A and B are shown apart, each in its own frame.
Chain A
Amino acid sequence: MVWRLAFRGLFRNPRRTIVVLAAVSVGIAGCALTISLNSGMAQQMVKTAIATELGHLQIHAPGYEADPELRILLPEGGVRATRAIEARLGDDGVRAWAPRVQGQGLVNSPRASVGVRVVAVDPEAEARVSAYADSMVSGDWLGEPGRVVVGVDLARRLQADLDDKVVLSVQDLAGDLTGRAFRIAGVFKTPSMAVNQSTLLLRIDEAQQLFGLGDQVSEIVVVADADRLVGSLRDSLSRTLGDSAEVRSWQELQPLLVYLVEVMDQLAWAIYGAVFIAMAFGIANVLLMSIYERTREIGVMMAVGMKPRRVVLSVMAESLVVTAVGLGAGLGFGALCIWLLRDGIDLSLYARGLESMGVGSRIVPVLRLNDVLAPAVMAIGAASLASAWPAIRAAGLRPGEALRRV
């Protein structure tokens, strides 16, 4: 009876019901869309960081994390680490790995000189762990000796084009200044402005020669078969390698990024909170109006023997029904919007700002299960709280007093 009254109550004042439903559903849909864009942006930041610099895991020589200098190297091409990684290749393990040498340098073109981060890679292996090879906007990926690829903004700063000659000057392991001329084989563009502005990639064998490293490498980048495996792989590799190497997950390598994602999540919850507080006041206002109009009717129901507890349930059920219908409509509407935006929203106008955060100019909304469950729970909670006061107020009336109200 309580639910029948609640459902019939929806049709008592259709215009008012539509207004409440619209408020609830637009609020929920707006929240779902905002949150999914927020999640999409956060996910893209993480993906960009993993796909360019971090990988899922990195293995370094002990001490590298505290002091990431060229001199702290994994001996013999990191053979001990690569054996441990090879043993974990396959499903539910390591998908790919690649060695890198990381250093600093100065690159000169005929027209400019720019300080760069030198990332030396095995072209084939690197293509399996990072997005550099797929991010080429002109020219070719690394292959032939004597060639480098540079970020799109670095090429602009150097005022250099494809096949132009540049000279890379570095300080080698012995501390001597050395250098070599290269030609630009290609230009890449990642969603990260920092990477595009200052990264120069070259073949690892040429870098080892240039820096005087022999067969030593700075790091080994590991990509897991799935995100969920990162923690277990890290622990497993750490156990195997012991004190001979540092195994670090992307979260440990970039705590700032983790913090940023957490802040974005908290911001999303703050948006939810604000919307739901506004919604709760709206629902409470409508229910108060509704109860005020129905005071006589509530008086009659109590007069014929309805218990106060049931009156409370009846009023709360009505708000829950409105909220549930609004929630369904809002989530449906939100899901439709997200589906329509499945190819992403083009934010080229803000591209520079987004790239500075490691986000591309096209943001694809991502709706996680939590983003659906959270508004459901919060909406029901807000409706319950919002309706509790008018419900208790209605039930607190004496029937005779309610019947006297016009």
Chain B
Amino acid sequence: MSDSIAEARGVRKVYDTRGVETVALDGVDFSVGEGEFAALAGPSGSGKTTLLNILGALDEPSEGSVIVAGQELGKLTATELSDLRLAKLGFVFQAYNLIPVFTARENVEFVMELQGVGAAERHARADAVLEEVGLGGLGAKRPLELSGGQQQRVAVARAIVGRPRLVLADEPTANLDSETAARLLDLMAGLNRHHGTTFLFSTHDPMVMEAARRLVRLKDGRIVDDSRSAGG
């Protein structure tokens, strides 16, 4: 197995909604290595998205520890967590979550702007990444002028343009038709192969499960299976 980029140790997550406690993760030990193309699968409520969010420093566990890129998240301040996400992580969300007042290109440039990349380099890299995800020429369009598949490609471009070590993709194909979903998966698999970017999906899409070289199954907040395909 390759070096771990993100690791959860004994992670437990309990949501408290108006006094009603719901256990989303119940003592999960999990790690994802550099260059992996892995998927977390399981029924709704199994804890996939929760685990993804905790590994992505978007949420904190109720118990246990999380280490990402060698840093223990529980010891970091909100600003340090922002820096970590900016430098090491990329995100793709089920609902695309592009900034509606920005164009596709500005959405992609947004991450680089936060990273302090100069304008000329930003433009060049944004154009190159948009070309890579098959959206060359659509950079000036606002999200609402793009189809769902195109918006998700912009989201992928935004996730990878900052050159993260790990891309966390939460149900990235859930809102796409199968043909568009297949093309998006090919795109991400290609990025994984050619750039070595680590991808971790949460999904219950069979197509994603098939494409993943490692499939981790969760049920009721626990890992019940962790299998790798021959190529993994």
Contact = CB atoms under 8 A, between A and B. Distances in A.
A260 interface: no
28 contacts: A1-B110, A1-B113, A1-B114, A5-B99, A8-B102, A297-B97, A299-B58, A301-B99, A304-B85, A304-B86, A304-B90, A304-B110, A304-B158, A305-B82, A305-B87, A306-B82, A307-B78, A307-B83, A308-B82, A309-B79, A310-B114, A398-B58, A398-B59, A398-B60, A399-B57, A399-B58, A400-B54, A403-B53
A119 to B, nearest CB: 71
A400 B83 contact: no
Task: Among B56, B82, B97, B110, find the residue whose CB has the most chain A CB atoms closer than 10 A.
Answer: B82
B101 A12 contact: yes
A179 to B, nearest CB: 87
B115 interface: yes
B40 to A, nearest CB: 15
B201 interface: no
Contacts of B114: 1, 304-306, 310
Contacts of B115: 305
Contacts of B83: 305, 307
Contacts of A11: 101
B93 interface: yes
Shortest 8 CB-CB contacts between residues of A and residues of B? A305-B86, A400-B59, A8-B101, A400-B58, A400-B53, A399-B58, A300-B97, A307-B82
A403 B85 contact: no
Contacts of A303: 56, 58, 85, 91
For the residues of A in contact with B, the DSSP-based class is helix
Nearest to A300: B97
Interface string B92-113: 0101011111100000001101
B213 to A, nearest CB: 26
Task: Among A5, A11, A301, A403, find the residue whose CB has the most chain B CB atoms closer than 10 A.
Answer: A403
Contacts of B98: 300
Interface of B: 53-54, 56-60, 78-79, 82-83, 85-87, 90-91, 93, 95, 97-102, 110-111, 113-115, 158, 162
Contacts of B53: 400, 403
Contacts of A309: 79
A345 to B, nearest CB: 44
Contacts of B54: 400
Contacts of A401: 59
A375 to B, nearest CB: 29
B58 A403 contact: yes
Given A300-B93, A302-B82, A12 B100 contact: yes
Contacts of B87: 305
Contacts of B79: 307-309
Given A309-B79, A400-B59, A403-B58, A304 B91 contact: yes
Contact of A9 (B90, B91, B101): B101
Nearest to B159: A304
Nearest to A308: B78
A401 B58 CA distance: 8
Contact of B97 (A8, A9, A296, A400): A296
A173 to B, nearest CB: 85
Interface string A301-327: 111111111100000000000000000
A308 B91 CA distance: 18
B226 to A, nearest CB: 24
Contacts of B86: 304-305
B223 to A, nearest CB: 20
Interface in A215-241: none
A14 to B, nearest CB: 12
A296 B91 CA distance: 14
Nearest to A401: B59
Nearest to B59: A400
Nearest to A7: B101
Given A1-B113, A304-B111, A305-B114, 7 more contacts: A1-B114, A12-B100, A300-B91, A303-B85, A304-B86, A400-B59, A401-B59
Interface string A386-406: 000000000000111101000
Contacts of A308: 78-79, 82
Nearest to A301: B99
Interface in A268-313: 296-297, 299-310
Contacts of B101: 5, 8-9, 11-12
B110 to A, nearest CB: 7
Contacts of A304: 85-86, 90-91, 110-111, 114, 158, 162
A297 B100 contact: yes
B202 to A, nearest CB: 13
A168 to B, nearest CB: 81
Contacts of B60: 398
Contacts of B59: 398-401
Nearest to A395: B78
Contacts of A398: 58-60
B214 to A, nearest CB: 24
Contacts of A5: 99, 101
Contacts of B110: 1, 301, 304
Contacts of B85: 303-305, 399
Nearest to B82: A307
Nearest to A12: B101
A16 to B, nearest CB: 14
A304 B158 CA distance: 9
Contacts of A1: 110, 113-114
